[in-house]
Amino acid sequence: SSPSMDPQTVLTGIITVLVGSLSGGLTNAVAIWMLFHPYERRGPGPFKIHGAIPKNKARLAKSIGKTVGQKLLTAEDLARRLSAPEIEQAFTAALDGILNDLLEADRGPLKDHLSPEMAESIDLAVGAVGEKVSNRLVEYARTPEFATLMGGWIQKLQDEVGHRPIAEILTAERRETLRTKVDEWVRQLADGPELERTLRHFVDTQLDRLADDTEPLIERLPPGLVGTVEQGITDYLPVALERIGGVLADPEAKGRVRVALRQAFDGSIRDLLLHERLLAKIVVTDSTFTRLLDGIERDGFERFASTMTSPEMREQFSKAVNAAIVNFLRIPLSERFTRLGPERRASLAQTLGDWLVRVARDESTQSVIARTVDRALAAAEQRTWADVLHVLPAERIGQLLGDSLATDQARGWVQEATQSVANQLLSRPLGRPATWLGTDTTEALRQGLSGAAWGWTRQQVPRIVEQFSVQETVERKVLGFSTERMEQIVRGVTQRELTWIVRIGYMLGAMIGLIAFLANQLLG
């Protein structure tokens, strides 16, 4: 047969084609694998190998960053994109939402929007402002210029309205309006928290002053008060004894006294000898105590009361009561407040404060004030303004006002007024800003802010983009990306193509093996 048909030749051809195919396919497979593997440099001695991508990761990151930053996403591209109409629309919509929340929402008191630290800082600042205002006002009130200024105002007022009767302006309608307004002021003052705080502060101040008082209480009392109290206590003793005797007529009270006497008797006979205790138990029974109490109820207290009213006993009781009262009154108030303790003193301050607040808010108190105002208005109707203003000279009135403002009490009033005004401003609800700005102002504010804000933003875009380095950011991200994850991404996208590369390697290897076999046959 022909040499080409020799089985050995056919086998040689098949082996040559198979070896060529394996050589091509495996070479491509190893080449693809060595793109990523090994992740780290490995191998014996000088034969260490390293995957192409892990080995050149820094160069690859720099190249990718340069390509993206200089070719794909330049600063001009970012600036142009950030200035696009759709970005402007999104910016305007976001700004409109912010303005709606700012202008249309119903705002509560300003202090509710402050943090505790900010509220504390504002309180400290208001206190400092109140102190400065008070100091400046006091300094100015002590100057001759202030007295001259006040005197000039009062003199001018006297010249203008001094000859006019007060009844001209104090008509029945105005008088009723003034009375109503005064009643309203008094009611608001009585029901408001400021009066309660003032009264409780007054109670605390007075208690603090009394707690520091080291003089005996007897020196603080009016003369004759001690004797009156002594006489009252001495005269009341017979009445008290009669009342005690009347209590024994109550069966329940008598039973309690009998039990108490029995317990006292049992306790007192424990120290007696045995036969003495037995005799006492036999003689003194419950019926004995009952008869004893009946006798005391019947005429015992009357005899005791008659004895108490005798001149000798009254004199002795008077001396004893006097000594007890004097000893009680010789103790300074500071010592008595110390004995009270913090809790009882706080309870006393609370009780006194509650009582004063109830008195101030009582309708009878407000009625007294209203009647006083009526009497003052009725008296004022019969006078002219000159009668009222000429009571004191203008210079004297100015001097009195200056002296009053220069006192520590007035200084405290100014500070409290400043604090009160600040608290009222912080506690007043803000409402809807759009309501007190008005529709036209609100719309103009919206349009003006939207245009100005977008114009300013467009001006800042180039400067912001210049600070943003796309190349460095991409390079840093690539360097921080793990090689394993990078391989997963590449294989996930190109796995089909990589498989075809290996298959093509097999096919090309087989073709090269076939060509080599045929060439060998032709040349052999």
What pLDDT is stored for residue 1 in this prediction? 39
The predicted model gives 318-337 an average pLDDT of: 70
All residues at 6 or more sequence positions from 40 whose CB lies less than 8 Å from its CB, including other chains: 50, 54
What pLDDT is stored for residue 370 in this prediction? 74
Q: What DSSP element (H or E) covers 107?
A: strand 107-109
Residue 329 CB-half CA count within 13 A? 17
Token pair listed for 186: 């008094």
What pLDDT is stored for residue 216 in this prediction? 72
Q: How does residue 20 score in pLDDT terms, banded at 50, 70 and 90?
A: confident
What pLDDT is stored for residue 500 in this prediction? 92
Whether residue 152 contacts residue 401, with contact meaning beta carbons closer than 8 Å, is answered with no
Tell whether the model's pLDDT for residue 62 goes beyond 70: yes
Q: How does residue 260 score in pLDDT terms, banded at 50, 70 and 90?
A: low
* Cα separation values, 182 from 173, 176, 374, 388, Å: 14, 10, 10, 20
Model-level pTM greater than 0.85? no
Residues 140-153: tens digit of each pLDDT:
776 777 777 777 77
* Cα separation values, 374 from 164, 177, 366, 389, Å: 21, 12, 12, 20
Residues 83-121: tens digit of each pLDDT:
777 777 787 788 778 877 777 777 677 677 677 777 777
Q: Cα dihedral sign for 155, 159, 161, 162?
A: positive
Identity (one letter) of the amino acid at 316?
Q
Ramachandran category for residue 224: left, alpha or beta (phi over 0 → left; psi -120 to 50 → alpha): left
**What percentage of the chain reaches a pLDDT higher than 70?**
62
Q: How does residue 391 score in pLDDT terms, banded at 50, 70 and 90?
A: low
Q: How many residues does the chain have?
A: 524
The predicted model gives 284-303 an average pLDDT of: 58
Query: Higher pLDDT residue, 343 or 454?
Result: 343
The predicted model gives 289-312 an average pLDDT of: 57
Query: Higher pLDDT residue, 507 or 461?
Result: 507
Query: Higher pLDDT residue, 30 or 439?
Result: 30
What pLDDT is stored for residue 507 in this prediction? 92
Residues 468-503: tens digit of each pLDDT:
677 777 778 777 777 788 778 888 888 888 889 888
Whether residue 507 contacts residue 24, with contact meaning beta carbons closer than 8 Å, is answered with yes
**What percentage of the chain reaches a pLDDT higher than 90?**
1
Tell whether the model's pLDDT for residue 246 goes beyond 60: no
Ramachandran category for residue 45: left, alpha or beta (phi over 0 → left; psi -120 to 50 → alpha): left
The mean of the pLDDT values for the chain is: 73
Whether residue 13 contacts residue 514, with contact meaning beta carbons closer than 8 Å, is answered with yes
What pLDDT is stored for residue 5 in this prediction? 55
Tell whether the model's pLDDT for residue 2 goes beyond 50: no
Residues 144-199: tens digit of each pLDDT:
777 777 777 777 776 766 666 666 666 667 777 777 777 777 777 777 777 778 88
What pLDDT is stored for residue 99 in this prediction? 75
Whether residue 506 contacts residue 22, with contact meaning beta carbons closer than 8 Å, is answered with yes
User: DSSP string covering 308-345, please?
Assistant: HTSHHHHHHHHHHHHHHHHHHHTSBHHHHHHHHHHHHH
Tell whether the model's pLDDT for residue 223 goes beyond 80: no
Q: How far apart are alpha carbons 490 and 501 in whole angstroms?
A: 14
